[in-house]
Chains A and B, each alone.
Chain A
Amino acid sequence: MNIKLTSLFKKDWFGLLIVVLISIFIIATIKPTFLSPFNLYVLMVSTSYMLIIALAQMIIIAIGQMNLSVGAIGGLVAISFSGLMEVYQISVPMAVLMGLLIGVGCGFLNGYITVKSGISAFIITLATLYIFKGINLGVTEAEPFYNIPETVKNFGNAKVGNTPIPFLIVIPIVITFLMWIFMNRTETGRHMLAYGNSIQSAELLGISSSKVVISAHVISGLLAAIAGMLVVCRLQLGTPNIGDSWLLPSFAAPVIGGAILAGGKVDVIATALGVLIVAIISQALVIFKIDPFFVQIFLGLMILLAVFVNRYREYKQEVSRKIFNIE
């Protein structure tokens, strides 16, 4: 029993879990309404798609790259999803499928160009950010799609039985679980982390770089697509500016969760907790009637803090390696 506890302590996300629990405790003590069913519902709704967005960025951070187009892909899929149903009367399942395909296609484009051109994914996705957003605007002409089928709207509002748990969050939880399995128990996932760790070592160990990079971007696009469609369910319409504000939070959560931007070190659970922390803080600021703009400042500060801490940890490891001449 003791051994299990200490190994629990060592987990990356343990500290985060403590932070989450403590903050919930403090906030709930000061303002008990924080734990009201309504508030919990709102909290979970906003966490739901943020979680998927964070995972979409996390998998790219895992391979040591960045995906600036997560928001643009999400937005494009969002309007495609709603547009297909409104304009072409396509059935919901079909529209979902097509939305997913668009996400996969966008992700594939990102990954393929990155691999073939050898240019950093940061720049490629900066360009595709504008390309996808451009298509989005070109198609919608900045007008939202209002006529969403009732089933979709209901899904966005539905709760699980009598609890305050929204149906909306079930999908992200399942996805988080799947992502955990992917990163920790599948060959491709391990290959991605190996690649993120050291491209040279990974290739020498027989891993195919192109397979790793393209798969990661495809999954990222797929996840962004899911998030986009979830937002449509929640908002009950498809607006062109869905995804515009995703960039910052998509980085914040993984980084707070201990991700090293150089690659090779990400943690699904820690990322999820990072999302939770950001959501809790944002929610708390609203409850305490603090200026909503403060959220932005806070987010920025949290990122800086998280990066410092991660950097410091890596630095300490490096120094001890230097001294003991391990390598």
Chain B
Amino acid sequence: MNELCLEINSANKSFPGVKALDQANFKLKKGSIHALLGENGAGKSTLIKIITGVHKQDSGLLLINGKEKILNTPNDATKFGISVVHQERNLIRRFSVGENLMLNNLPKTALGLIDYDKIAIQSKKWLEIMDLDIDPNTTVSELTVAKMQLCEIAKALSLKAEILLLDEPTSSLSPQESENLFSLLRKIVRDEGVSIVFVSHKLEEVFNICDEVTVLRDGKNACTSESINNLDRKKLVKLMIGREEQIVKSDRKSDDNKDAILTLTNIKTELGHKDIQLELNRAEIIGLYGLVGAGRTELVKCLIGLEKITAGSVKINGKDVTIDSPKTALEKFKIGYISEDRKKEGLILIHNVLDNTSITIWSQIKRAIGLVTDKMIADKINPYISELEVKTPSIYQLISNLSGGNQQKISVAKWLAAGTDILIIDEPTVGIDIKTKAYLHKLIIELADKGTSIILISSDMPEMISLSDKIIVMKDFQIAGIVENDHSYDSVSAEIMEYIHK
């Protein structure tokens, strides 16, 4: 009865060294809001790129309204009624809202010049559908992120989109703005005949708004077009990761001898943090939980000296310190930071394993006249490379040739080699395969057992609850609450959620 407006049949797509999609299927019914889920590396982003015309499948069919179509460019996708709203905003900030909406089809006067009055009139129509009471002449940079996003959806509608793909739409929105977005989505599905592909890692939202679910795992379908009524969170997670969520109950005993190695008191930063209090004890693992935009990464970047702390005190081993750069953080205070963006901030892709792993220790191992040979480096780092079981043909292999999991291991190895007292780990297992993920979890616990104090930032609730001794919940650049962790998932996650949604 419900025809399929978009169908992908048996799509295969390979890249050098990895098969991203293996006979994957996707069937979007007309008038539905269909969730596309999958861990990073499951093939989700590849499928999205095929739908939006960025990539072409190696084999398999793409059908729009029952007819086979070939998409060579994103423009083709738009032509056939597929629009995408990405995670990052894609409007021209210096232009007005109206101009953005009509940019690829600007109304002109008889002379061929742009007719700004017509822009205002025509764009108003689309703005009203999205309940946006904005003057089309407003400059985009003056809008909030939420409104910008709604403008992008309005733009999609103006392009006569029948299929709208939303990629992590609520990552920068407040709960209220998210609710507003959802009611508008329901509205345009009902009134404008739009069908939606909803991509999100937030399972609560999926249950809130979607009616069907497709889950990808390791490039294949774990389920296809499953009705949301047949699923609960547990089942969904099992489909995504292939097993029940496992909470590793660590043997870590809570230590009554609390010895504060790092104390933050009344911290204010130039990025907007206020009233930050934090106490990290030796050999302790503190988790920092929060939604995207909570300010966790920003806080630790201030801590290591990349951005400025404007008020309050930072104490290391009880003594007041000023950390003005990551160099000082490492060399003076032995603090390391494993970045969440390993490709941009954690590794140097055009260099090899040897150079990437040793970047933190060159100063340490140099001899007279600055001499640092490859052999000296290899002697120092080989133990770590084998300890972490990094799969590489040689230490001269370019980092870009390693898999995501192995790349992540290198970005960890370089800090192990440096020998840090305090290690800040930011989203360690995003986009990592299950096996490496489990390995890294074990490693983190081992590090703490051996005496390293760890601050762990993660948006992965089970990971957070497995590993942390105590969890600090952050919201809007402030601390929303602190949760002592007894590792029982249901009660602890509930407490965390309480603080988030207060």
Decide if A and B touch, CB cutoff 8 A: yes
Which residues on the A side are within 8 Å of B272 (C-beta)? Answer: 322-325
**Within 8 Å CB of A323, what residues of B?**
270-272
- List A contacts of B148 (CB < 8 A): 327
In angstroms, Cα B108 to Cα A202, docked, is 20
Question: Smallest CB–CB gap between B383 and chain A, Å?
Answer: 41
Residue from B86, B100, B112, B114 with most neighbouring chain A CB atoms (10 Å): B114
User: Contact at B75–A205, with CB atoms within 8 Å?
Assistant: no
B145 touching A194, Cβ below 8 Å: no
Q: Would you give the shortest CB distance from A57 to chain B, in whole angstroms? A: 20
A324: which B residues are within 8 A, CB to CB?
A: 272
For residue A319, which residues in chain B have a CB less than 8 angstroms away from its CB? 270
User: Is B104 a contact partner of A207 (Cβ separation < 8 A)?
Assistant: yes
- Kindly supply a per-residue 1/0 record for chain B positions 113-127, scoring 1 wherever the CB is within 8 Å of any chain A CB and 0 otherwise: 110000000000000
Q: With A323-B271, A326-B145 known to touch, is A187 a contact of B114 (CB < 8 Å)?
A: yes
B92 and A186 contacting across the interface, CB-CB below 8 Å: no
Contact B78 A200 (CB under 8 A): no
Binary per-residue interface labels of chain A (178-207) against chain B in the complex, 1 for a CB within 8 Å, 0 otherwise: 000100011100110110011011111111
Contact of A264 among B94, B103, B113, B145 (CB under 8 A): B94
Query: Does A197 contact B93, Cβ atoms closer than 8 Å?
Result: yes
Interface flags for B78-104 (1: CB within 8 Å of A; 0: not) read: 100000101001111111000110011
Give every chain B residue within 8 A of A193 (Cβ-Cβ).
92, 94-95
B86, B100, B477: the one contacting A205 at CB < 8 Å is: B100
| Interface membership of B74, Cβ < 8 A | yes
Given A201-B90, A206-B103, A265-B94: A186 and B112 interface contact (C-beta under 8 Å): yes
| Cβ contacts under 8 Å, A264 to chain B | 92, 94
Min Cβ gap A8→B in Å is 17
Checking A198, A205, A265, A325 against B104 with a beta-carbon cut-off of 8 angstroms, the contacting residue is: A205
Cβ contacts A233-267/B at 8 Å (1 or 0 each): 00000000000000000000000000000001100
CB distance from B481 to the nearest CB of A (A): 20
B144 within 8 A of A: yes
CA distance A323 to B293 in the complex (A): 12
CA distance A190 to B155 in the complex (A): 17
Interface residue tally for chain A (C-beta within 8 Å): 27
Report A-chain residues with C-beta under 8 Å of the C-beta of B114: 185-187, 190
In the complex, B172 has a CB within 8 A of chain A: yes
In the complex, which residues of chain A have a beta carbon less than 8 angstroms from the beta carbon of B159? 206
Secondary structure class of chain B's binding surface, majority of residues:
loop
Q: How far does the Cβ of B71 sit from chain A's closest Cβ, in whole Å? A: 15
B residues less than 8 Å from A187 (CB atoms) = 106, 108, 114
Chain B, Cβ-Cβ closest to A185: B113
Bound together, the chains give a CA A186 to CA B172 distance in angstroms of: 34
Residues of A within 8 A of B91 (CB): 201, 205
- A184 (CB) vs chain B CBs: closest residue: B114
| A186-B114, A322-B271, A323-B272 known; A204+B92 contact, CB < 8 A | no
> Is A206 within 8 A of B78, CB to CB?
yes
In the bound complex, how far is the Cα of B112 from the Cα of A181, in angstroms?
11
Interface size class of B (residues with CB under 8 A): 20 to 34
Contacts of A202 in B (CB 8 A): 92
Q: Report the bound CA distance from A190 to B272 in whole Å.
A: 35
**A residues less than 8 Å from B293 (CB atoms):** 325
The answer to whether A327 and B145 touch across the interface, beta carbons within 8 angstroms, is yes
Closest residue on chain A to residue B52 by CB atoms: A204
CA A327 to CA B87, docked complex, whole Å: 12
B89 touches which one: A185, A186, A327 (CB < 8 A)? A327
Report the minimal beta-carbon distance from B78 to chain A, rounded to whole angstroms. Answer: 6
- Give the docked Cα–Cα distance between A190 and B270 (Å): 35
Tell me whether A194 and B74 are in contact in the complex, defined as CB-CB below 8 angstroms, given that A186-B114, A187-B106, A205-B155 are known contacts. Answer: no
Task: Give the residues from 266 to 301 in chain B that come closer than 8 angstroms, CB to CB, to chain A.
Answer: 270-272, 293
Q: B95: which A residues are within 8 A, CB to CB?
A: 190, 193-194, 197
B89 neighbours in A (Cβ, 8 Å) = 201, 327
Given A190-B99, A264-B94, also A203-B145 (CB < 8 A): no
B106 pairs with A204, CB closer than 8 A: no
Distance between Cα atoms of A201 and B114 in the complex (Å): 20
Cα-based distance from A115 to B84 in the complex (angstroms): 25
The residue from A191, A198, A327 contacting B172, defined by CB atoms under 8 A apart: A327
Chain B residues near A181: list those with CB within 8 A.
Answer: 113
Say yes or no: A204-B90 contact (C-beta < 8 A), given A186-B114, A187-B114, A322-B271.
yes
Q: How far is the CA of A327 from the CA of B74 in the complex (A)?
A: 25
Which residue of chain B has its CB nearest to the CB of A208? Answer: B75
Determine the chain B residues whose CB is within 8 A of the CB of A190 once the complex forms: 95, 99, 103, 106, 114
Set of chain A residues within 8 Å of B104, measured between Cβ atoms? 205-207
- Given A187-B108, A198-B92, A206-B78, answer yes or no on A326-B144 (Cβ-Cβ < 8 Å): yes
Complex-state Cα separation, A264 to B108, whole angstroms? 22
Chain B residues contacting A206 (CB-CB under 8 Å) are 75, 78, 103-105, 159
A185 to B107, CA, bound (A): 11
In the complex, what's the smallest C-beta–C-beta distance from A268 to chain B, in angstroms? 15
Nearest Cβ on chain A to B134's Cβ, whole angstroms: 15
List residues 452-502 of chain B with CB under 8 A from any CB of chain A: 477
Interface-centre pick from A187, A204, A264 (highest chain B CB count, 10 A): A204
Contact with B along A305-327 (1 / 0, CB 8 A): 00000000000000100111111
* Chain B contact residues, CB within 8 Å of chain A: 74-75, 78, 84, 86, 89-95, 99-100, 103-106, 108, 112-114, 141, 144-145, 148, 155, 159, 172, 270-272, 293, 477
Residues of A at under 8 Å CB distance from B?
Answer: 181, 185-187, 190-191, 193-194, 197-198, 200-207, 264-265, 319, 322-327
In the complex, 22 of the A-B residue pairs with CB atoms within 8 angstroms, ordered by the A residue number, are: A181-B113, A186-B112, A186-B114, A187-B108, A190-B95, A190-B99, A190-B114, A194-B103, A197-B94, A197-B95, A198-B92, A200-B90, A204-B74, A204-B84, A206-B104, A206-B159, A319-B270, A323-B272, A325-B272, A325-B477, A326-B144, A327-B148
4 closest A-B pairs (Cβ-Cβ)?
A206-B104, A201-B90, A185-B113, A194-B92
Contacts A185-B113, A201-B91, A204-B84 known; list 8 others, CB within 8 Å: A186-B112, A186-B114, A187-B106, A193-B94, A200-B90, A203-B74, A264-B94, A322-B272
